[in-house]
């Protein structure tokens, strides 16, 4: 009789141990998941040294401007001194770079890649190798105020002639 009770108690004890082990395993899995989530959260807060800083235009430059571009020097037959062009320029930021979209009659004409350094805005555009005419445009805007931006655009065509333009951007009246 005594040995039967021991066997029953042993079986109960083993069953409780198995149940406890199963609960410990479930708890260990949840603890591991929790630690992984903590690490993920902490990695989002850590500022990495190798992270890329995406440039942005200053708030005073960002947005649309009315442009007036006048040819002031030219050795190219395509550009005549005094030629004038008016477009809308829009300074935009995206996830990779700062750029300027140029619109004529609400159609996108060109996108300049750009950056701001030493209180100057530098823009550039090059045609790709599939075009018959290689055009390289460089713009330096070095007079920057809240309502007006001024500078020069230099265009080189097929590396054998160039033209210089005065550029004036003005905020549209509201």
Same domain for 7 and 76, yes or no, is: no
> Would you give the end-to-end CA distance of the chain in angstroms?
101
Same domain for 92 and 142, yes or no, is: yes
Same domain for 98 and 26, yes or no, is: no
Same domain for 43 and 76, yes or no, is: no
Same domain for 33 and 68, yes or no, is: no
Same domain for 41 and 68, yes or no, is: no
Query: Is residue 54 in a domain?
Result: no
Q: Which residues contact 115 (CB under 8 A, 6 or more apart)?
A: 55, 97, 98, 121, 122
- Cβ of 127: how many Cβ atoms within 10 Å? 14
Counting every residue, how long is the chain? 174
The model's pTM: 0.68
User: Measuring CA to CA, how many Å separate 137 from each of 13, 24, 37, 85, 100?
Assistant: 85, 69, 50, 15, 13
Q: Report the number of distinct structural domains present in the chain.
A: 2
pLDDT per position as a tens digit, 123-151? 999 998 888 889 999 999 999 999 999 99
Task: State the residue range of the domain holding 153.
Answer: 63-170
Per DSSP, the three-state class of 112 is strand
Same domain for 44 and 103, yes or no, is: no
pLDDT per position as a tens digit, 38-96? 777 777 766 555 566 778 899 999 999 999 999 999 999 989 999 999 999 999 998 78
């Amino acid at each position: 009789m005594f040995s039967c009770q021991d066997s029953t108690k042993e079986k109960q004890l083993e069953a409780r141990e198995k149940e406890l082990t199963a609960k410990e395993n479930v708890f260990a899995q949840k603890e591991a998941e929790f630690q992984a989530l903590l690490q993920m959260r902490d990695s989002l807060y850590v500022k990495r040294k190798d992270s890329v800083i995406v440039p942005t235009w200053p708030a005073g430059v960002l947005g649309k401007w009315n442009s007036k571009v006048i040819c002031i020097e030219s050795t190219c037959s395509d550009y005549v001194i005094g030629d004038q062009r008016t477009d809308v320029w829009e300074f935009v930021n995206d996830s990779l770079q700062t750029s300027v979209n140029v619109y004529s009659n609400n159609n996108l004409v060109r996108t300049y890649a750009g950056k701001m350094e030493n209180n100057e805005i530098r823009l550039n555009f090059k045609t790709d190798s599939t075009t018959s005419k290689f055009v390289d445009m460089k713009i330096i805007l070095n007079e920057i105020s809240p309502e007006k931006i001024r500078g020069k655009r230099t265009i080189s065509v097929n590396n054998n002639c160039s033209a210089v333009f005065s550029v004036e951007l003005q905020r549209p009246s509201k």
